[in-house]
Chains A and B, each alone.
Chain A
């Protein structure tokens, strides 16, 4: 056999088995979407999506998912920093606790939130007596449930980025006179920005899709706690066309955000 043929065979493309298995993998994502598109009542879409129930759900979903992402960023980044940088006793346990919502069924998370923060809950009762604040069955409850399930995505992504960051950048900044806060602001955070953005997007996407913990802890009240996934769930039983329209809407919102963010900031470096 002469040499050029061998070379050509060597670069002739990926093995067939891998391509076939990958195609099956892709089908898992594409087939449900296809089903949704086929069933969509395209003509009545505008009317279906402008009903009060739908508009309320859209507003609530956007508000609660964005609020949950902001809260996750404010408290999750410091948590990730501590986990990555400080060797405190019980760190492995804390890391496990933070990641628990990733594997816990959301309905269990919702129930736990209810036992802790419900009006008769361990924390909820004193909270109510002191401030009059009631979390369950309120928009704050929706936000809390969304934060509970979404923050782990941010923490795990940011902690990973901090662990793989060359510590000498921070050392160089300190040797140039930068205090710890300035090092964090001017060096650490900018250097992990791709991971930070990725973590925020993942957290936001998870918050937007949150269902189980929300319905358990916050209930299903239109305009107050009924987010898009909850509205889809209700509509499936009564108004199939609305359910499909809402589902399509969620697909479009999520896909748009993921594609736009990915092309702008979230480039694999």
Chain B
């Protein structure tokens, strides 16, 4: 099959053990989402061929890249996997144009071919004016663009992005996230996005793999993960509701629905996050309640451990979390009519 199929097993010590399975079809983006130290960067290093596997296999478009059992190992320079490294790792002694040209020069293109391709790619990324600049003089956003252009120019078979937005400030991050979505769509091979930021994973990936302590604890779409988080880490960090809307004067419009938010200064496109535990569920219209109050229906209800997750319906579908005691007291089940309320200050808002 085309795309990536991998089982990555690396054991570095009794404390560190990475054992994950990844399948990424062509044209799909998978996010590997997890806390720092979960083994994400080691996964990148093994796929790129910078760290050999101890067990398992890596197969890209049917070609075996690493298989310790068969004593097969394709070195990094022959893998054709484009990597955008964490902090970008631009070559500090080369100019922007030389950085972007690096892969083509390694590939044996003629000088003239390299030059015209580099000009084309620099223009595509709006980096034309920075051709002779050096990496230490670039802003974080510019460095990320150079790193992406440097990886894509060689037309790799797969793209690995290790925390591509983590080093950026909030405003630049929102802008580059949009551009990254475009670049990912323009790339036909499998893409793997490594991130610790659930928002990034939800917005950029088709499928999310959650990694904790070197193991995959859940695989699914953003909705799957919100309604049925398998671990408390997932529930706490990856389980938030993410709403895309636009803000003005303390109100965020989400598909025609008005939400009051604490931040009255922000305006324009925004991402709003609401943690499921910040949502209150009532049987009757709550009195003296927050102004974000509306009536809806419970679509699904999932019990897991000491928590219960609800999926609510129109006008604003959300995932809410209550204790089993509360669920019982309110006699909640699929189809129940309930009132939902959210305090304005519990809604996180950032520029999109």
Say whether A associates with B: yes
Contacts from A to B (Cβ < 8 Å): 166, 168-169, 171-180, 182, 186-187, 190-191, 193
Max chain B Cβ within 10 angstroms of own Cβ: one of A166, A174, A176: A176
Using C-beta atoms within 8 Å of the partner chain, give the interface range for chain B: 20 to 34
Instruction: Report the separation of the CA atoms of residues A168 and B88 in the bound assembly, to the nearest whole angstrom.
Output: 10
Is B48 part of the contact surface with A, judged by Cβ < 8 Å? yes
Pull 23 A–B residue pairs with CB atoms less than 8 Å apart, ordered by A: A166-B89, A171-B45, A171-B48, A171-B50, A171-B76, A172-B83, A172-B89, A172-B91, A173-B102, A174-B49, A175-B48, A175-B49, A175-B79, A175-B81, A176-B150, A177-B77, A177-B154, A178-B102, A186-B102, A187-B91, A190-B93, A191-B92, A193-B93
Q: What are the residues of chain A within 8 A of B49 when measuring CB–CB?
A: 174-175
Q: What are the residues of chain A within 8 A of B75 when measuring CB–CB?
A: 174
Q: What are the residues of chain B within 8 A of A180 when measuring CB–CB?
A: 77
Q: What are the residues of chain B within 8 A of A176 when measuring CB–CB?
A: 77, 102-103, 106, 150-151, 154
User: A169-B91, A175-B83 known; 6 other A-B pairs, CB under 8 Å?
Assistant: A168-B85, A175-B50, A176-B151, A177-B77, A177-B106, A190-B93
Q: What are the residues of chain B within 8 A of A177 when measuring CB–CB?
A: 77-78, 80, 103, 106-107, 154
Q: Looking at chain A's contact residues, is the secondary structure mostly helix, strand, loop, or mixed?
A: helix
Q: What are the residues of chain B within 8 A of A182 when measuring CB–CB?
A: 106
The listed residue (B50, B93, B154) touching A191 by CB distance below 8 A is: B93
Instruction: Report the separation of the CA atoms of residues A202 and B106 in the bound assembly, to the nearest whole angstrom.
Output: 34
Q: What are the residues of chain A within 8 A of B45 when measuring CB–CB?
A: 171
In the complex, the answer to whether B106 meets A175 with C-beta atoms within 8 Å is no
Instruction: Report the separation of the CA atoms of residues A176 and B93 in the bound assembly, to the nearest whole angstrom.
Output: 16
Instruction: Report the separation of the CA atoms of residues A175 and B102 in the bound assembly, to the nearest whole angstrom.
Output: 11
Q: What are the residues of chain B within 8 A of A193 when measuring CB–CB?
A: 93
Q: A172-B83, A173-B102 are in contact. Are A178 and B77 (CB under 8 A)?
A: yes
Contacts from B to A (Cβ < 8 Å): 45, 48-50, 75-83, 85, 89, 91-93, 102-103, 106-107, 150-151, 154
In the complex, the answer to whether A179 meets B106 with C-beta atoms within 8 Å is yes
Nearest B-chain residue to A187, judged by Cβ: B91
- Distance of B157 from chain A, by nearest CB (Å): 12
Nearest A-chain residue to B98, judged by Cβ: A186
Instruction: Report the separation of the CA atoms of residues A14 and B82 in the bound assembly, to the nearest whole angstrom.
Output: 52
Instruction: Report the separation of the CA atoms of residues A56 and B80 in the bound assembly, to the nearest whole angstrom.
Output: 59
Nearest B-chain residue to A170, judged by Cβ: B50
Instruction: Report the separation of the CA atoms of residues A175 and B49 in the bound assembly, to the nearest whole angstrom.
Output: 8
In the complex, the answer to whether B106 meets A178 with C-beta atoms within 8 Å is yes
Q: What are the residues of chain A within 8 A of B151 when measuring CB–CB?
A: 175-176
Q: What are the residues of chain A within 8 A of B93 when measuring CB–CB?
A: 190-191, 193
- Distance of A194 from chain B, by nearest CB (Å): 11
Instruction: Report the separation of the CA atoms of residues A180 and B76 in the bound assembly, to the nearest whole angstrom.
Output: 10
Max chain A Cβ within 10 angstroms of own Cβ: one of B50, B80, B107: B50
Nearest B-chain residue to A183, judged by Cβ: B77
Instruction: Report the separation of the CA atoms of residues A174 and B78 in the bound assembly, to the nearest whole angstrom.
Output: 8
Q: What are the residues of chain A within 8 A of B85 when measuring CB–CB?
A: 168, 171-172
Q: What are the residues of chain A within 8 A of B78 when measuring CB–CB?
A: 177
Instruction: Report the separation of the CA atoms of residues A154 and B79 in the bound assembly, to the nearest whole angstrom.
Output: 35
Instruction: Report the separation of the CA atoms of residues A169 and B150 in the bound assembly, to the nearest whole angstrom.
Output: 13
Q: What are the residues of chain B within 8 A of A174 when measuring CB–CB?
A: 49-50, 75-77
Q: What are the residues of chain A within 8 A of B50 when measuring CB–CB?
A: 171, 174-175
Instruction: Report the separation of the CA atoms of residues A176 and B91 in the bound assembly, to the nearest whole angstrom.
Output: 12
Instruction: Report the separation of the CA atoms of residues A172 and B91 in the bound assembly, to the nearest whole angstrom.
Output: 9
- Distance of B94 from chain A, by nearest CB (Å): 8
In the complex, the answer to whether A175 meets B77 with C-beta atoms within 8 Å is yes
Max chain A Cβ within 10 angstroms of own Cβ: one of B45, B77, B85: B77
* List of 9 A-B pairs having minimum Cβ-Cβ separation, nearest first: A176-B103, A177-B106, A174-B76, A178-B106, A171-B50, A175-B83, A172-B89, A168-B89, A190-B93
